[in-house]
Structure 1
Amino acid sequence: MKIGELIGIGNTARVYQWGKAEIIKIFHDQSSAMNEAKNAEIINNLKLRSPNYSGLVEYEGKIGIVYEKIDGPTMLWRIEPTERSISYNAKLMANLQYEIHNVENKLVPNLKLEIANKVNNSLEISDHEKQVILDLLNSLPDGNRICHYDFHPDNIIISPKGPIIIDWLNVLIGNQEADVTRTSMMIQSHSLPPNAPSWLMNRVLRELFNKEYLAEYIKLADLNDSFLERWMIPTLAARIDEMQGEYRQEIRNKLQLKLAL
Protein backbone atom coordinates (compact mmCIF):
# COMPACT_ATOMS: atom_id res chain seq x y z
CA MET A 1 0.00 0.00 0.00
CA LYS A 2 1.17 3.54 -0.74
CA ILE A 3 0.87 6.39 1.71
CA GLY A 4 -1.79 9.01 1.02
CA GLU A 5 -1.83 12.73 1.64
CA LEU A 6 0.27 14.35 4.35
CA ILE A 7 -1.94 15.08 7.35
CA GLY A 8 0.50 16.53 9.83
CA ILE A 9 4.13 17.03 10.84
CA GLY A 10 5.42 16.63 14.40
CA ASN A 11 8.79 16.66 16.15
CA THR A 12 9.22 12.90 15.83
CA ALA A 13 7.15 11.87 12.79
CA ARG A 14 5.08 12.76 9.75
CA VAL A 15 1.48 11.56 9.59
CA TYR A 16 -0.11 10.36 6.33
CA GLN A 17 -3.39 8.86 5.22
CA TRP A 18 -3.16 5.04 5.10
CA GLY A 19 -6.01 3.47 3.18
CA LYS A 20 -9.52 4.73 3.84
CA ALA A 21 -9.83 4.40 7.61
CA GLU A 22 -6.30 4.62 9.01
CA ILE A 23 -3.26 6.86 9.26
CA ILE A 24 0.42 6.01 9.39
CA LYS A 25 3.07 7.80 11.43
CA ILE A 26 6.44 7.64 9.67
CA PHE A 27 9.12 8.30 12.27
CA HIS A 28 12.36 10.19 11.82
CA ASP A 29 14.25 7.63 13.93
CA GLN A 30 13.64 3.99 14.77
CA SER A 31 13.98 4.33 18.55
CA SER A 32 11.03 6.75 18.77
CA ALA A 33 8.96 4.43 16.60
CA MET A 34 9.70 1.38 18.72
CA ASN A 35 9.04 3.28 21.94
CA GLU A 36 5.67 4.56 20.74
CA ALA A 37 4.72 1.12 19.41
CA LYS A 38 5.42 -0.38 22.84
CA ASN A 39 3.30 2.32 24.50
CA ALA A 40 0.53 2.01 21.90
CA GLU A 41 0.19 -1.70 22.59
CA ILE A 42 -0.11 -1.04 26.33
CA ILE A 43 -2.60 1.81 25.84
CA ASN A 44 -4.65 -0.29 23.42
CA ASN A 45 -5.33 -2.81 26.17
CA LEU A 46 -6.60 -0.19 28.64
CA LYS A 47 -9.91 1.66 28.71
CA LEU A 48 -8.63 4.97 27.37
CA ARG A 49 -9.84 7.48 24.81
CA SER A 50 -7.19 6.62 22.24
CA PRO A 51 -7.11 5.57 18.57
CA ASN A 52 -7.01 1.84 17.88
CA TYR A 53 -3.47 0.65 17.20
CA SER A 54 -2.99 -1.65 14.19
CA GLY A 55 0.73 -2.38 14.42
CA LEU A 56 4.15 -1.60 12.97
CA VAL A 57 4.99 -1.52 9.28
CA GLU A 58 8.12 -0.76 7.30
CA TYR A 59 7.70 1.79 4.52
CA GLU A 60 10.57 2.72 2.22
CA GLY A 61 13.15 1.79 4.83
CA LYS A 62 11.48 3.66 7.70
CA ILE A 63 9.38 2.42 10.61
CA GLY A 64 5.73 3.42 10.63
CA ILE A 65 2.91 2.92 13.11
CA VAL A 66 -0.64 2.44 11.85
CA TYR A 67 -3.59 3.83 13.79
CA GLU A 68 -7.30 4.23 13.33
CA LYS A 69 -7.97 7.60 11.68
CA ILE A 70 -9.83 10.00 13.96
CA ASP A 71 -11.75 12.76 12.17
CA GLY A 72 -12.09 16.23 13.64
CA PRO A 73 -10.02 19.23 14.70
CA THR A 74 -7.82 19.21 17.76
CA MET A 75 -8.94 21.19 20.77
CA LEU A 76 -6.17 23.70 20.04
CA TRP A 77 -7.94 24.77 16.86
CA ARG A 78 -11.47 24.49 18.19
CA ILE A 79 -10.96 27.00 20.99
CA GLU A 80 -12.25 30.48 20.23
CA PRO A 81 -10.54 33.62 21.61
CA THR A 82 -13.32 34.22 24.16
CA GLU A 83 -13.40 33.71 27.90
CA ARG A 84 -16.35 31.34 27.58
CA SER A 85 -14.59 29.07 25.06
CA ILE A 86 -11.31 29.20 26.99
CA SER A 87 -13.02 28.22 30.24
CA TYR A 88 -15.11 25.43 28.71
CA ASN A 89 -12.19 23.76 26.93
CA ALA A 90 -9.77 24.18 29.83
CA LYS A 91 -12.22 22.40 32.12
CA LEU A 92 -12.86 19.71 29.51
CA MET A 93 -9.12 19.10 29.24
CA ALA A 94 -8.82 18.79 33.02
CA ASN A 95 -11.66 16.25 33.08
CA LEU A 96 -10.06 14.19 30.31
CA GLN A 97 -6.73 14.11 32.11
CA TYR A 98 -8.40 13.19 35.40
CA GLU A 99 -10.13 10.37 33.53
CA ILE A 100 -6.76 9.05 32.28
CA HIS A 101 -5.33 9.17 35.79
CA ASN A 102 -8.17 7.04 37.13
CA VAL A 103 -7.95 4.19 34.63
CA GLU A 104 -6.87 1.06 36.48
CA ASN A 105 -3.49 -0.40 35.56
CA LYS A 106 -0.92 -2.79 36.98
CA LEU A 107 2.11 -1.19 35.35
CA VAL A 108 5.40 -0.55 37.15
CA PRO A 109 6.02 3.12 38.08
CA ASN A 110 8.84 4.65 36.02
CA LEU A 111 8.17 8.41 35.88
CA LYS A 112 10.67 9.46 38.54
CA LEU A 113 13.30 7.15 37.06
CA GLU A 114 12.84 8.67 33.59
CA ILE A 115 13.09 12.22 34.97
CA ALA A 116 16.23 11.28 36.90
CA ASN A 117 17.81 9.84 33.74
CA LYS A 118 17.07 13.03 31.80
CA VAL A 119 18.53 15.18 34.56
CA ASN A 120 21.67 13.05 34.83
CA ASN A 121 22.22 13.07 31.06
CA SER A 122 21.68 16.80 30.57
CA LEU A 123 24.66 18.97 29.61
CA GLU A 124 22.66 22.09 30.48
CA ILE A 125 22.56 21.36 34.22
CA SER A 126 25.60 21.60 36.52
CA ASP A 127 26.57 18.75 38.81
CA HIS A 128 25.54 20.79 41.86
CA GLU A 129 22.16 21.59 40.32
CA LYS A 130 21.65 17.95 39.41
CA GLN A 131 22.18 16.88 43.02
CA VAL A 132 19.68 19.47 44.29
CA ILE A 133 17.10 18.43 41.69
CA LEU A 134 17.55 14.71 42.30
CA ASP A 135 17.30 15.14 46.08
CA LEU A 136 14.01 16.99 45.58
CA LEU A 137 12.77 14.38 43.10
CA ASN A 138 13.55 11.54 45.51
CA SER A 139 11.45 13.24 48.20
CA LEU A 140 8.36 13.33 45.97
CA PRO A 141 5.75 10.53 46.01
CA ASP A 142 5.95 7.83 43.33
CA GLY A 143 2.32 7.13 42.44
CA ASN A 144 1.06 4.56 39.93
CA ARG A 145 -1.18 6.57 37.59
CA ILE A 146 -1.01 6.61 33.80
CA CYS A 147 0.63 9.91 32.86
CA HIS A 148 0.38 11.00 29.23
CA TYR A 149 3.25 13.45 29.87
CA ASP A 150 2.57 15.42 26.70
CA PHE A 151 -1.02 16.37 27.48
CA HIS A 152 -2.05 19.62 25.78
CA PRO A 153 -4.89 20.87 23.53
CA ASP A 154 -3.23 19.80 20.27
CA ASN A 155 -3.15 16.17 21.43
CA ILE A 156 -6.92 16.03 21.92
CA ILE A 157 -9.03 15.44 18.80
CA ILE A 158 -12.64 16.57 19.09
CA SER A 159 -14.26 13.81 17.03
CA PRO A 160 -17.94 13.07 16.27
CA LYS A 161 -17.67 10.27 18.85
CA GLY A 162 -16.22 12.55 21.52
CA PRO A 163 -12.69 13.60 22.53
CA ILE A 164 -9.87 11.22 21.54
CA ILE A 165 -6.35 11.57 22.96
CA ILE A 166 -3.38 11.03 20.65
CA ASP A 167 0.45 10.92 20.76
CA TRP A 168 1.21 8.56 23.63
CA LEU A 169 4.96 8.51 22.89
CA ASN A 170 5.90 9.94 26.32
CA VAL A 171 3.49 7.92 28.47
CA LEU A 172 4.84 7.15 31.95
CA ILE A 173 3.54 5.60 35.16
CA GLY A 174 3.80 7.72 38.28
CA ASN A 175 2.29 10.53 40.27
CA GLN A 176 -0.58 12.41 38.63
CA GLU A 177 0.75 15.66 40.10
CA ALA A 178 3.80 15.37 37.85
CA ASP A 179 1.61 15.02 34.77
CA VAL A 180 -0.49 18.08 35.68
CA THR A 181 2.63 20.13 36.43
CA ARG A 182 4.09 19.20 33.05
CA THR A 183 0.88 20.26 31.26
CA SER A 184 0.76 23.58 33.12
CA MET A 185 4.41 24.24 32.31
CA MET A 186 3.81 23.64 28.58
CA ILE A 187 0.73 25.88 28.50
CA GLN A 188 2.72 28.73 30.05
CA SER A 189 5.76 28.31 27.80
CA HIS A 190 6.53 30.87 25.09
CA SER A 191 7.09 27.98 22.66
CA LEU A 192 4.31 28.00 20.06
CA PRO A 193 3.34 25.61 17.23
CA PRO A 194 3.59 26.96 13.65
CA ASN A 195 0.74 29.32 12.73
CA ALA A 196 -0.61 29.17 16.28
CA PRO A 197 -4.25 30.23 16.76
CA SER A 198 -4.90 33.73 18.07
CA TRP A 199 -5.97 32.68 21.57
CA LEU A 200 -2.68 30.88 22.15
CA MET A 201 -0.65 33.94 21.14
CA ASN A 202 -2.60 36.07 23.61
CA ARG A 203 -0.81 35.79 26.96
CA VAL A 204 -3.89 36.87 28.92
CA LEU A 205 -6.06 34.18 27.34
CA ARG A 206 -3.35 31.56 27.71
CA GLU A 207 -2.94 32.35 31.40
CA LEU A 208 -6.72 32.18 31.78
CA PHE A 209 -6.70 28.73 30.16
CA ASN A 210 -4.00 27.57 32.58
CA LYS A 211 -5.85 29.01 35.58
CA GLU A 212 -9.18 27.39 34.62
CA TYR A 213 -7.50 24.07 33.78
CA LEU A 214 -5.65 23.88 37.10
CA ALA A 215 -8.65 24.97 39.17
CA GLU A 216 -10.84 22.30 37.58
CA TYR A 217 -8.29 19.51 37.98
CA ILE A 218 -7.51 20.44 41.58
CA LYS A 219 -11.24 20.41 42.38
CA LEU A 220 -11.77 17.03 40.69
CA ALA A 221 -8.81 15.39 42.39
CA ASP A 222 -9.30 17.18 45.73
CA LEU A 223 -5.68 18.36 45.75
CA ASN A 224 -3.86 21.32 47.25
CA ASP A 225 -2.12 23.45 44.60
CA SER A 226 1.17 23.33 46.54
CA PHE A 227 2.16 20.28 44.48
CA LEU A 228 2.90 22.59 41.54
CA GLU A 229 5.88 24.15 43.31
CA ARG A 230 7.18 20.78 44.48
CA TRP A 231 7.10 19.22 41.03
CA MET A 232 8.05 22.23 38.88
CA ILE A 233 11.82 22.03 39.40
CA PRO A 234 12.26 18.40 38.23
CA THR A 235 9.66 19.03 35.48
CA LEU A 236 11.61 21.98 34.10
CA ALA A 237 14.88 20.06 34.40
CA ALA A 238 13.47 17.15 32.36
CA ARG A 239 12.21 19.57 29.70
CA ILE A 240 15.45 21.45 28.92
CA ASP A 241 16.98 19.04 26.42
CA GLU A 242 13.66 18.58 24.61
CA MET A 243 13.79 22.21 23.47
CA GLN A 244 16.05 24.19 21.14
CA GLY A 245 17.42 27.74 20.93
CA GLU A 246 15.52 30.47 22.75
CA TYR A 247 12.94 28.02 24.12
CA ARG A 248 15.65 25.93 25.75
CA GLN A 249 17.04 29.11 27.30
CA GLU A 250 13.57 30.03 28.55
CA ILE A 251 13.30 26.71 30.40
CA ARG A 252 16.88 27.07 31.68
CA ASN A 253 16.12 30.55 33.05
CA LYS A 254 12.94 29.36 34.76
CA LEU A 255 14.81 26.47 36.34
CA GLN A 256 17.57 28.73 37.69
CA LEU A 257 14.99 31.08 39.18
CA LYS A 258 13.26 28.19 40.95
CA LEU A 259 16.55 26.80 42.25
CA ALA A 260 17.53 30.23 43.61
CA LEU A 261 14.40 30.50 45.78
Structure 2
Amino acid sequence: MAKELISSSATKSVYRDGNTAIKEFCEGFPKAEVLNEALCNARVEDIEALNVPKVLGVAVVDGKWSIIRELVEGKTLQQLMDENPDKLEEYMEQMVDLHILIHAQACPLLNKLKEKTMRALKSEVQLDENLRYELMTRLDGMPKHTKLCHGDFDPSNIIVGNDGKWYVVDWVHASQGNASADVARTYLLLSLKDKKKAEMYMDMFCEKTGTEKRYVQGWLPIVAAAQLYYKRPEEKELLESWINVFDYQ
Protein backbone atom coordinates (compact mmCIF):
# COMPACT_ATOMS: atom_id res chain seq x y z
CA MET A 1 0.00 0.00 0.00
CA ALA A 2 1.37 3.42 -0.98
CA LYS A 3 1.73 5.83 1.92
CA GLU A 4 -0.93 8.55 2.09
CA LEU A 5 -0.15 12.15 3.07
CA ILE A 6 -2.06 13.26 6.19
CA SER A 7 -0.46 16.66 6.87
CA SER A 8 2.66 18.63 6.10
CA SER A 9 4.65 21.69 7.15
CA ALA A 10 7.96 23.30 6.21
CA THR A 11 10.00 20.79 8.23
CA LYS A 12 7.95 17.59 8.28
CA SER A 13 5.21 15.54 6.65
CA VAL A 14 2.98 12.92 8.26
CA TYR A 15 1.92 9.91 6.20
CA ARG A 16 -0.39 6.99 6.74
CA ASP A 17 1.18 3.65 5.91
CA GLY A 18 -1.19 0.81 6.69
CA ASN A 19 -1.82 0.82 10.42
CA THR A 20 1.05 3.18 11.21
CA ALA A 21 1.73 6.91 10.93
CA ILE A 22 5.13 8.00 9.63
CA LYS A 23 6.39 11.44 10.60
CA GLU A 24 9.01 12.23 7.97
CA PHE A 25 11.36 15.15 8.59
CA CYS A 26 12.92 17.28 5.85
CA GLU A 27 16.43 16.63 4.59
CA GLY A 28 19.05 18.01 6.94
CA PHE A 29 16.73 18.03 9.95
CA PRO A 30 18.91 17.42 13.05
CA LYS A 31 19.05 13.76 14.03
CA ALA A 32 19.30 14.73 17.70
CA GLU A 33 15.94 16.52 17.56
CA VAL A 34 14.26 13.52 15.93
CA LEU A 35 15.64 11.16 18.58
CA ASN A 36 14.69 13.61 21.34
CA GLU A 37 11.09 13.73 20.12
CA ALA A 38 10.89 9.94 20.07
CA LEU A 39 12.37 9.81 23.59
CA CYS A 40 9.94 12.39 24.99
CA ASN A 41 7.02 10.50 23.45
CA ALA A 42 8.29 7.22 24.89
CA ARG A 43 8.47 8.76 28.35
CA VAL A 44 4.85 9.96 28.37
CA GLU A 45 3.14 7.21 26.39
CA ASP A 46 2.95 4.85 29.37
CA ILE A 47 1.06 7.34 31.56
CA GLU A 48 -2.23 5.49 31.98
CA ALA A 49 -4.40 8.59 32.37
CA LEU A 50 -3.47 9.86 28.90
CA ASN A 51 -3.95 8.55 25.39
CA VAL A 52 -0.62 8.95 23.62
CA PRO A 53 0.05 7.02 20.38
CA LYS A 54 3.13 4.86 20.96
CA VAL A 55 6.38 5.22 19.04
CA LEU A 56 7.07 2.01 17.13
CA GLY A 57 10.44 2.94 15.73
CA VAL A 58 12.83 5.56 14.38
CA ALA A 59 14.30 5.01 10.93
CA VAL A 60 15.72 6.64 7.82
CA VAL A 61 13.03 6.43 5.14
CA ASP A 62 13.88 7.60 1.62
CA GLY A 63 16.96 9.31 3.01
CA LYS A 64 15.01 11.23 5.68
CA TRP A 65 14.80 10.68 9.41
CA SER A 66 11.33 9.47 10.38
CA ILE A 67 9.37 8.51 13.48
CA ILE A 68 6.95 5.61 13.09
CA ARG A 69 4.06 5.53 15.56
CA GLU A 70 0.64 4.02 16.08
CA LEU A 71 -2.02 5.39 13.75
CA VAL A 72 -5.11 6.94 15.30
CA GLU A 73 -8.24 6.97 13.16
CA GLY A 74 -10.10 10.24 13.62
CA LYS A 75 -9.89 13.99 13.12
CA THR A 76 -7.83 16.66 14.81
CA LEU A 77 -9.65 18.94 17.20
CA GLN A 78 -8.72 21.79 14.86
CA GLN A 79 -10.62 20.12 12.03
CA LEU A 80 -13.66 19.60 14.25
CA MET A 81 -13.59 23.22 15.43
CA ASP A 82 -13.45 24.41 11.81
CA GLU A 83 -16.27 22.08 10.74
CA ASN A 84 -18.54 22.76 13.72
CA PRO A 85 -18.19 26.41 14.80
CA ASP A 86 -21.42 26.12 16.80
CA LYS A 87 -19.67 23.62 19.09
CA LEU A 88 -16.62 25.80 19.74
CA GLU A 89 -17.35 26.42 23.42
CA GLU A 90 -18.00 22.71 24.03
CA TYR A 91 -14.76 21.71 22.27
CA MET A 92 -12.79 24.40 24.10
CA GLU A 93 -14.03 23.22 27.48
CA GLN A 94 -13.01 19.64 26.66
CA MET A 95 -9.61 20.88 25.51
CA VAL A 96 -9.12 22.75 28.79
CA ASP A 97 -10.15 19.66 30.77
CA LEU A 98 -7.60 17.60 28.83
CA HIS A 99 -4.87 20.16 29.53
CA ILE A 100 -5.71 20.07 33.25
CA LEU A 101 -5.51 16.27 33.14
CA ILE A 102 -2.06 16.47 31.54
CA HIS A 103 -0.89 18.86 34.25
CA ALA A 104 -2.10 16.43 36.91
CA GLN A 105 0.48 13.88 35.73
CA ALA A 106 4.15 13.51 36.62
CA CYS A 107 7.01 12.47 34.35
CA PRO A 108 10.23 12.99 36.33
CA LEU A 109 12.64 11.99 33.54
CA LEU A 110 11.67 14.92 31.31
CA ASN A 111 13.69 18.13 31.17
CA LYS A 112 12.68 20.86 33.59
CA LEU A 113 10.69 23.64 31.91
CA LYS A 114 12.38 26.40 33.90
CA GLU A 115 15.89 25.26 32.93
CA LYS A 116 14.87 24.77 29.31
CA THR A 117 13.36 28.26 29.18
CA MET A 118 16.43 29.80 30.79
CA ARG A 119 18.69 28.20 28.16
CA ALA A 120 16.48 29.58 25.37
CA LEU A 121 16.57 33.09 26.85
CA LYS A 122 20.36 32.97 27.17
CA SER A 123 20.75 31.74 23.59
CA GLU A 124 18.34 34.08 21.79
CA VAL A 125 20.54 36.66 20.03
CA GLN A 126 17.65 38.99 19.15
CA LEU A 127 17.06 39.99 22.77
CA ASP A 128 18.36 43.28 24.13
CA GLU A 129 20.65 42.54 27.09
CA ASN A 130 18.60 44.63 29.53
CA LEU A 131 15.42 42.90 28.42
CA ARG A 132 17.11 39.50 28.66
CA TYR A 133 18.12 40.27 32.25
CA GLU A 134 14.59 41.43 33.08
CA LEU A 135 13.04 38.26 31.65
CA MET A 136 15.55 35.93 33.31
CA THR A 137 15.01 37.66 36.65
CA ARG A 138 11.26 37.26 36.31
CA LEU A 139 11.66 33.60 35.32
CA ASP A 140 13.93 32.94 38.29
CA GLY A 141 11.24 34.30 40.61
CA MET A 142 8.47 32.08 39.27
CA PRO A 143 7.39 29.14 41.48
CA LYS A 144 9.05 25.81 40.70
CA HIS A 145 6.58 23.06 39.85
CA THR A 146 7.03 19.58 38.38
CA LYS A 147 3.76 19.15 36.49
CA LEU A 148 3.76 17.49 33.08
CA CYS A 149 3.70 20.21 30.40
CA HIS A 150 3.13 19.49 26.71
CA GLY A 151 4.86 22.60 25.40
CA ASP A 152 2.90 22.78 22.14
CA PHE A 153 -0.68 22.06 23.26
CA ASP A 154 -2.82 23.15 20.32
CA PRO A 155 -6.01 21.82 18.65
CA SER A 156 -3.91 20.49 15.76
CA ASN A 157 -2.01 18.25 18.20
CA ILE A 158 -5.17 16.67 19.60
CA ILE A 159 -6.78 13.82 17.68
CA VAL A 160 -10.38 12.96 18.49
CA GLY A 161 -10.43 9.27 17.65
CA ASN A 162 -13.27 7.40 16.00
CA ASP A 163 -13.30 5.40 19.24
CA GLY A 164 -14.33 8.54 21.16
CA LYS A 165 -10.99 8.93 22.93
CA TRP A 166 -8.90 12.09 22.79
CA TYR A 167 -5.26 11.50 21.84
CA VAL A 168 -2.36 13.94 22.25
CA VAL A 169 0.56 13.91 19.81
CA ASP A 170 3.79 15.88 19.18
CA TRP A 171 5.47 15.73 22.59
CA VAL A 172 8.83 17.05 21.38
CA HIS A 173 8.64 20.11 23.69
CA ALA A 174 7.37 18.18 26.72
CA SER A 175 8.87 19.07 30.08
CA GLN A 176 8.07 19.15 33.78
CA GLY A 177 7.30 22.53 35.24
CA ASN A 178 4.72 25.24 35.86
CA ALA A 179 1.30 24.62 34.31
CA SER A 180 0.70 28.35 33.79
CA ALA A 181 3.74 28.55 31.51
CA ASP A 182 2.24 25.75 29.42
CA VAL A 183 -1.09 27.60 29.31
CA ALA A 184 0.67 30.79 28.23
CA ARG A 185 2.20 28.86 25.33
CA THR A 186 -1.21 27.53 24.30
CA TYR A 187 -2.62 31.06 24.54
CA LEU A 188 0.06 32.30 22.13
CA LEU A 189 -0.58 29.41 19.71
CA LEU A 190 -4.33 30.09 19.68
CA SER A 191 -3.68 33.84 19.27
CA LEU A 192 -1.90 33.17 15.96
CA LYS A 193 -5.28 32.26 14.47
CA ASP A 194 -7.94 33.83 16.67
CA LYS A 195 -7.45 36.10 19.69
CA LYS A 196 -11.02 35.52 20.88
CA LYS A 197 -10.44 31.75 21.05
CA ALA A 198 -7.23 32.38 22.99
CA GLU A 199 -9.06 34.55 25.52
CA MET A 200 -11.84 31.98 25.84
CA TYR A 201 -9.26 29.30 26.51
CA MET A 202 -7.40 31.25 29.17
CA ASP A 203 -10.61 32.36 30.89
CA MET A 204 -11.87 28.77 31.04
CA PHE A 205 -8.58 27.44 32.36
CA CYS A 206 -8.32 30.08 35.08
CA GLU A 207 -11.94 29.60 36.14
CA LYS A 208 -11.68 25.79 36.29
CA THR A 209 -8.38 25.77 38.19
CA GLY A 210 -8.86 28.84 40.36
CA THR A 211 -5.72 30.37 38.85
CA GLU A 212 -5.32 34.14 38.88
CA LYS A 213 -5.40 35.32 35.26
CA ARG A 214 -2.70 37.92 35.89
CA TYR A 215 -0.39 35.12 37.00
CA VAL A 216 -0.77 33.25 33.69
CA GLN A 217 -0.38 36.52 31.78
CA GLY A 218 2.82 37.17 33.72
CA TRP A 219 4.35 34.19 31.91
CA LEU A 220 3.55 35.54 28.43
CA PRO A 221 6.65 37.76 27.91
CA ILE A 222 8.93 34.98 29.18
CA VAL A 223 7.37 32.26 27.04
CA ALA A 224 7.20 34.52 23.98
CA ALA A 225 10.89 35.43 24.23
CA ALA A 226 11.92 31.80 24.74
CA GLN A 227 9.91 30.71 21.69
CA LEU A 228 11.90 33.05 19.44
CA TYR A 229 14.74 30.56 19.88
CA TYR A 230 12.89 28.05 17.66
CA LYS A 231 12.87 30.45 14.68
CA ARG A 232 9.28 29.85 13.52
CA PRO A 233 8.62 32.62 10.96
CA GLU A 234 4.85 32.43 11.36
CA GLU A 235 5.17 33.22 15.10
CA LYS A 236 7.85 35.93 15.01
CA GLU A 237 5.62 39.02 14.82
CA LEU A 238 3.23 37.84 17.55
CA LEU A 239 6.03 36.77 19.88
CA GLU A 240 7.87 40.07 19.51
CA SER A 241 4.67 41.96 20.31
CA TRP A 242 4.46 40.20 23.69
CA ILE A 243 8.07 40.35 24.83
CA ASN A 244 7.90 43.89 26.22
CA VAL A 245 4.50 43.55 27.89
CA PHE A 246 5.02 43.69 31.65
CA ASP A 247 1.74 45.35 32.63
CA TYR A 248 0.29 42.36 34.46
CA GLN A 249 2.56 42.41 37.51
Question: TM-score if structure 2 supplies the norm length?
Answer: 0.88
Q: Is the 8 A contact 1:177 1:227 kept in 2?
A: yes
- Deviation of 1:135 after TM superposition, in Å, equals 0.4
Q: Is the 8 A contact 2:214 2:248 kept in 1?
A: no
Cα shift readout 1:186-224 (whole Å, capped 9, x = no counterpart): 1113xxxxxxxxxx5xxxxx3442233223222332212
Pair 1:93-2:92 in alignment: no
| Counterpart pick for 1:184 among 184, 187, 204 | 187
Q: Where does structure 1 lack aligned partners over 5 or more consecutive residues?
A: 190-199, 201-205
Q: Paired residue for 2:244?
A: 256
Q: Paired residue for 2:124?
A: 122
- Deviation of 1:15 after TM superposition, in Å, equals 1.1
The change in CA–CA distance for 1:109 and 1:16 in structure 2 (over 3 A counts) is closer
Pair 1:21-2:19 in alignment: yes
Deviates more, 1:138-147 or 1:84-93: 84-93
Q: Paired residue for 2:39?
A: 38
- Deviation of 1:82 after TM superposition, in Å, equals 7.2
Indicate the RMSD between aligned Cα atoms, in angstroms: 2.4
Find the aligned partners of 1:59 and 1:44 in 2 and give their Cα distance.
Answer: 23
Find the aligned partners of 2:229 and 2:34 in 1 and give their Cα distance.
Answer: 19
SS of equivalent residue, structure 1 residue 158: strand
Find the aligned partners of 1:163 and 1:9 in 2 and give their Cα distance.
Answer: 21
Q: Paired residue for 1:156?
A: 158
Find the aligned partners of 2:152 and 2:234 in 1 and give their Cα distance.
Answer: 20
What does 1:1-261 correspond to in 2, within 5 Å?
4-18=3-17, 20-28=18-26, 29=29, 30-47=31-48, 48-80=50-82, 84-107=86-109, 110-161=112-163, 162-189=165-192, 200=193, 206-245=194-233, 247-258=235-246
Letter in 1 for 2:220: M
- Deviation of 1:46 after TM superposition, in Å, equals 1.6
Question: TM-score if structure 1 supplies the norm length?
Answer: 0.85
- Deviation of 1:249 after TM superposition, in Å, equals 3.1
- Deviation of 1:246 after TM superposition, in Å, equals 6.9
The change in CA–CA distance for 1:165 and 1:93 in structure 2 (over 3 A counts) is same
Deviates more, 1:166-175 or 1:226-235: 226-235
The change in CA–CA distance for 1:166 and 1:21 in structure 2 (over 3 A counts) is same
Letter in 1 for 2:125: L
Find the aligned partners of 2:234 and 2:53 in 1 and give their Cα distance.
Answer: 34
- Deviation of 1:83 after TM superposition, in Å, equals 6.5
The change in CA–CA distance for 1:257 and 1:99 in structure 2 (over 3 A counts) is closer
Q: Is the 8 A contact 1:148 1:172 kept in 2?
A: yes
Find the aligned partners of 1:218 and 1:83 in 2 and give their Cα distance.
Answer: 23
Find the aligned partners of 1:245 and 1:75 in 2 and give their Cα distance.
Answer: 24
Cα shift readout 1:79-114 (whole Å, capped 9, x = no counterpart): 158774221111111011011111243336510111
- Deviation of 1:147 after TM superposition, in Å, equals 0.5
- Deviation of 1:174 after TM superposition, in Å, equals 0.4
Find the aligned partners of 1:246 and 1:40 in 2 and give their Cα distance.
Answer: 25
- Deviation of 1:38 after TM superposition, in Å, equals 0.9
Cα shift readout 1:162-195 (whole Å, capped 9, x = no counterpart): 2111111111110111101110121113xxxxxx
Find the aligned partners of 1:117 and 1:236 in 2 and give their Cα distance.
Answer: 14
- Deviation of 1:74 after TM superposition, in Å, equals 0.8
